[in-house]
Amino acid sequence: MINDKVRKLVVGCALLLAAGPSLAADPDTQKQLDGIKAAIPKFAIPMREVGDRFQNIYFAAHGGNWALAAYMSKYMNGAMNPAMLTKPAEYAVWKNFNDNTFASVNKAIMAKDVKAFDTAYKAVVDDCNSCHKGMGYGFIKVVKLGGPADSGIDYKVKSEPGDVPK
């Protein structure tokens, strides 16, 4: 999972890249910036975290742990932040997916509506697989696991979606 240090590195890189031509004019500085950008996770590594959190959301919702479902959703989206710098075109696809397609899952979580959640979750799985195929990654087929990706969490703690700290 992407930790706070990686997030700070991404923000730092963004600030350095935004500094513009004054820094980029120095070949050594540009080389350093390119090296930092190359070290930031591209798309596949953050997507792995997304996949794990997406699986966990299902078990949290079905266990009545709505805060955990909301938490996983929040950080699922945040995991993709490095792609803003490393894969901006793919990030735009992700952002559209999260803002639009995935919104129905978030709406069901906030409503604590398991039936609506199941419908939305299945639609998202289908959309993920369609997107993977369309981008040339048809060999990556999302399926619902038989158990959560993180087995060390109690998915049945009763909670409210609004219990997640801001």
Please say whether the beta carbons of 22 and 28 come within 8 A: no
Percent of the chain scored above 70 by pLDDT? Answer: 85
Report pLDDT digits (tens) over 92-116: 999 999 999 999 999 999 999 999 9
Look-up of token digits 């793919």: 90
Q: How confident is the model at residue 27 (pLDDT cuts 50, 70, 90)?
A: confident
The pTM score is 0.79
pLDDT at 20: 54
3-state secondary structure of 65: strand
**Domains of the chain by residue range:** 4-39, 44-163
Report pLDDT digits (tens) over 1-15: 455 665 665 556 555
Please say whether the beta carbons of 66 and 161 come within 8 A: yes
Residue 65, phi then psi, degrees to nearest 5: -95, 70
Please say whether the beta carbons of 152 and 59 come within 8 A: no
Which tokens hold the place of 8?
């700070």
Q: What is the mean pLDDT of the chain?
A: 88
Q: How far is Cα 121 from Cα 165, in angstroms, rounded to an integer?
A: 24
